[in-house]
Chain A
Amino acid sequence: MSQRRIRFYGAAGQIGTIAVTLLGLLLLTFFIGRLMPADPVRAIVGEDATRETYEQVYRSLGLDRPLWEQFFYYLGDVFTGNFGTSIRTGQPVIQDILHVMPATIELATFAILIGAGLGVPLGVLAAVNKDRWPDHVVRVFSLFGHSMPIFWTGMIALIVFYAHLGLVGGSGRMDQFYIGLVEERTGFLLIDSLMAGELDVFWSAVNHIILPAALLGYSSSAYITRMTRSFMLDQLGQEYVTTARVKGLSRSQTIWQHAFINIRVQLVTIIALAYGSLLEGAVLIETVFAWPGFGQYLTSNLITGDMNAVMTCVLIVGVIFIGLNLLSDVLYRIFDPRTR
């Protein structure tokens, strides 16, 4: 009974924390959006509007009211799903974002598969060979991935693999002449093209996603490798590993069936967090590869000074981060018997 009560209070406390963090997020985006020099009225009415028009828009945006009142209106809008309209596209911002999101999710998912597929084995390899040459090679390799400016690596990769070697597709999600061929159902091109039975489009899409996804994956594998290595080192230093070896298990059996089993939970949580930070790389890589996703939407709105759209994007990234943190917390609780 008391155990249950503790868990109830734990969950309630967590919900409270999340609510406060969300409110803070909204406060932050509100203040960046309203208090800084960029003039939202000018952005709507243009440079040479009359004074009357300016005043009218000024009032209709509620800018003549006190700040705290404006904030409450903002909160109301956000909770009813009204994020304003984008000045650039004339569509509701949230609709725009829902439209571009699948492209980014597709890219990020592909990337995290590559990142984890690369990072986890390398981390194990480094831990098992601690302070020997494979450890050093892995360390430099992953620090390299962590240090590269991803927008630059993207260009170099385009020059080498697309322009010179012709191994992969160039920018965009598919070859130019396939655009519009597949009906958009889920927004995930790989799924849509398969559903429509258009194998040509599917392969073109794979050809286009592989390069940006590989680069994003490589950059996120740095973090995954480092964490896998340190989790693995913790396990390998424990006595049950020695016991298993003494009892006659082979080295690889001890590593994969004993030590690795015990770090799975931790790995899932850090991979969830790495997935979130891919969004950051996505903003840059989407610009380089002309990938019509969230990142490109954000940067093109930055350049036109569409603060409504920019702040909504920032808010959404914040919410995704909080969500992923929560998810990794929940996963930890579900999979780790000790937290039950």
Chain B
Amino acid sequence: MSSISVPGAVPVPESRKERENYLNIQHTVASWLLTLDHKRIAILYLLGITFMFAIGGAAAAGIRIALVRPHDTFFSNEVYNKLFSIHGIVMVFFFLVPSIPAVFGNFALPLMIGARDVAFPRLNLLSWYLYMTGSFLMLLAIIFGGVDTGWTFYTPYSSVYSDTNVSLVIFGVFIAGFSSIATGVNFLVTIHKMRAPGMTWFRMPLFVWAMYATSIIMILGTPVVAITLFLVAMERIFGFCVFNPVCGGDPLLFEHLFWFYSHPAVYIMILPSMGVVSEVIACFSRKRIFGYEFVGFSSLAIALLGFLVWGHHMFVTGESMYSGMVFSLLSFLIAVPSAIKVFNWSATLYKGNIWLSAPMIYALGFIGLFTIGGLTGLYLASLAVDVHLNMTYFVVAHFHYVMVGGAIFGFMAALHFWWPKMTGRLYPESWAKLAALIMFIGFNLTFFPQFILGYLGMPRRYHYYLPEYQAWNILSSAGASVLAVGYIIPFCYLLWSLFKGAPAGDNPWGAVGLEWTISSPPPSHNYDEVPIVTWEAYDYEPVIQAELAGAAVGHPLMTTEEPYIKETE
């Protein structure tokens, strides 16, 4: 390959003046708050969701402190109820749902398909403001005394009886929901209409496929939960009558409508992570993803099947036995596309040139933990077993394996993978590996005992429990503190690397995605000339050849002479 010794390849000369990029092109606060640049909006989102993650994490810490003792006196029962509600609502609606799509989807998706921006940059900025407004209302609700309905807002408790700030929280979630819809519309149009010439559907990176599937769920599911929560608010504020059994309303209807969104929402959280894992696994085993088409289509299959399984949340609510059987069957079916992904990632690793970098450790962690989370989901999809396990800690452990072990490990993998591209700096690799390991250990220590607790019959959401459960709860709380350390370390070294990190160069991983063909951090308009794609996704053969030859890898697939780097005086 003639391109291997392209100038600007790693390592970057120290003397080089900083290039003009999306970060340093303007410095005013207004230039950030009014930016239409998808990369800047991604950074804004990153700040927002990190803050909300801290709030949700603090609430989780409270829960684990309370559960160290069977008869906790540290928090009152009311406060305990508010802690798990705030933890759930903040983490689901204000962290997990926007996390990867709004941050890394926004940052990387246009770059990956060779676009200058998303299709509707103003809508993109609006979505951030909607998210921030929703978050602000949520924070306001917490300041005014919190909310105690759990993240599920079951009626009629939420709509009639609860005397906490349910309305405020509902409006926060409602508004944040529209931010999610806006992101979904934007991504769908972007993927359909903004791909660079030659970037066919089957040349797209799998992260883009995952974002496409996620966006489908966002546009089909979110409006339903929005209107449902709106109905709850109408019932609560104006005394309307929709779900209240006192006037003939049906609380089960609320549960159906709520889970029609909230089950697919689980896939909003996990599909983007699966996309990230596909990118990371391919890059760090230097191989094309095994069965590319199957992995791509399994994302779509998950998105579509995900809309047909919501009833498995309601097996014990008096749902008809026959619909229970159908929902159970469909829930088993959705394990198939998920398993396809896991098998294909494993097959990709086979005989790959594996580089155990920090993103790769997170991605491997994802595969293991998601497999456990997914398989325990099958326990819960079985009608008879679910009667025993429903509303116990088994459920809590199951969805934390999917949401933390899956979604957050994917988020951390993405953060480390694209951090050099976003900031132009390398994070300290050994610290990152250590943090990944601590997080893995802490996570398992926290949540594995909860499987056992649930199996032994400890119900979820209870403040007090029987003394025989204490040992497992202490283990879990100890694990939570290890996990907290695993979150704090990356926060510190990533912040440090912003100022002191080594310059990353354009392509520190030798990855072949289009986003690695431009400088780090990218210029605000991404591409001076829209690239013409003539190669398949994950074509790592040239990289392997270059590495064997001992040459520095720029971007092996680009044959042009760095048209995109501008020197500023």
Q: Are chains A and B native binding partners rather than an unrelated pairing? A: no
